[in-house]
Amino acid sequence: MIKIDKESCINCTICYEICPDYVFSVDEVEKKDVTVRFADHCCICGHCVSMCPIGAVTHDTLPCDDFVKISKPEIKPLDLQNLIFSRRSVRKYKDKQVEKETINQLIECAAHAGSAGNVQTEGFIVLNDKSFLKKLELVVVDSLWHGGVKFFKGKGLIQKFLSKRFGAKLTYQYQKYHKLIVRRRENNEEEGMIFRNAPAVIAIHGLKANYLAQTNSAIALRNIELMAQTLGLGTCHVGFLVTASNMRTRKINKMLGLDNKRKIYGALMIGYPKYKYKHRIPKQDRKVNTMYSA
Ligand SMILES: Cc1cc2nc3c(=O)[nH]c(=O)nc-3n(C[C@H](O)[C@H](O)[C@H](O)COP(=O)(O)O)c2cc1C
């Protein structure tokens, strides 16, 4: 429960101004006398506790000692831009494990991402057992195939229907997956197809009932991607695992020990890159609609 120590409160009104959930009220005329008005609106984001200049605002579930002082970031805008521009999806890794502490550090960074309503209901699964990843890989390929990819053969009436349903670009992509699975199976090359023999995979799961679980997960994984880069690690999304999890939720959940209220919303392969990228890769110009006046 959120509280204000009225004895020490200096009525700066910062808590009132920054609260996302309109928990506080203030005397509108004099702009002072801050009180807790709707404590049960609080999303426990901790902003008010963090910003109170004299520590008058507290919350039962947020111990004051856990509010670590922020050291001023040294990152210059162009350094961050360079980091963003130089990030690549890394698919070839050195045969070297990622240290447990490093994985924990990455997960901590992910957990510091925002979540809609501050619900923080996403969880992580770390996979680094090679034999388990191999088994999971086969289940993912099988789920993709039977979940829909088998229909994208590239001919006939069904193809026309699928084109109409998915549009040209996605249909082309799924046709490519169809060919990829067929060819790799024919040549007994399924191994490494999904996780690329990465030494570790971090998967993120969330509640199916949360409409924003996908967004929360994407943001959390982006924290991991950027942090990993600074640690000399490479990452790559495993969209195939997410797609398989959409197509065959129960099967994937069972393997990953998740109950069926949850689903995998994202995953990253992680490892030390075997090769270094030397050039920035151009991206397509995207359509930008400007909806403000000059
Ligand atoms: C949501 C998402 C899912 C992806 N899934 C896979 C995947 O399953 N396997 C893979 O090799 N790459 C995957 N990628 C990587 C993309 O292929 C890659 O981002 C794209 O080719 C551009 O390359 P870049 O990330 O180096 O800029 C995924 C990327 C995103 C954003």
Task: Give the pLDDT confidence of 182-208 residue by residue, as tens digits.
Answer: 999 999 888 899 999 999 999 999 999
Tell me which residue has its CA closest to atom 20 in ligand 1: 89
Shortest CA distance to 256 belongs to which of 102, 135, 149, 105?
135
The answer to whether 87 and 268 are in contact (CB under 8 A) is: no
Portion of the chain with pLDDT greater than 70, in percent: 100
- pLDDT, tens only, 271-293: 999 999 999 999 999 999 988 88
| Same domain for 186 and 89 | yes
Enclosing domain of residue 279: 75-284
267: left (phi over 0), alpha (psi -120 to 50) or beta: beta
Using the atom order of ligand 1, give the atom closest to the CA of residue 88.
26
Tell me which residue has its CA closest to atom 23 in ligand 1: 89
Q: Measured in angstroms, how far is the CA atom of residue 182 from the centroid of ligand 1?
A: 21
Shortest CA distance to 272 belongs to which of 93, 108, 142, 130?
93
Please, what is the average pLDDT of the chain?
Answer: 94
For the cut 90, the answer to whether the pLDDT of residue 158 exceeds it is no
Tell me which residue has its CA closest to atom 29 in ligand 1: 237
Q: Measured in angstroms, how far is the CA atom of residue 50 from the centroid of ligand 1?
A: 37
Tell me which residue has its CA closest to atom 30 in ligand 1: 237
- What does the angle CA 274 – CA 280 – CA 282 come to, to the nearest 5 degrees? 125
Rounded to two decimals, what is the model's pTM?
0.92
| Same domain for 96 and 55 | no
The answer to whether residue 293 sits within a structural domain is no
Compute how many other C-beta atoms are within 10 angstroms of the C-beta atom of residue 104. Answer: 11
| Same domain for 132 and 207 | yes
How many distinct structural domains can be found in the chain?
Answer: 2
Q: Measured in angstroms, how far is the CA atom of residue 218 from the centroid of ligand 1?
A: 13
Q: What is the DSSP letter of 150?
A: G
The whole-number pLDDT of residue 131 equals 96
- Pocket residues: Cβ below 6 A from ligand 1: 88-89, 91, 236-240
Q: Tell me phi and psi for residue 14, to 5 degrees.
A: -60, -45
| Same domain for 257 and 164 | yes
Residue 136, classified by CB atoms within 10 Å of its CB into exposed (0-12), middle (13-18) or buried (19+), is: buried
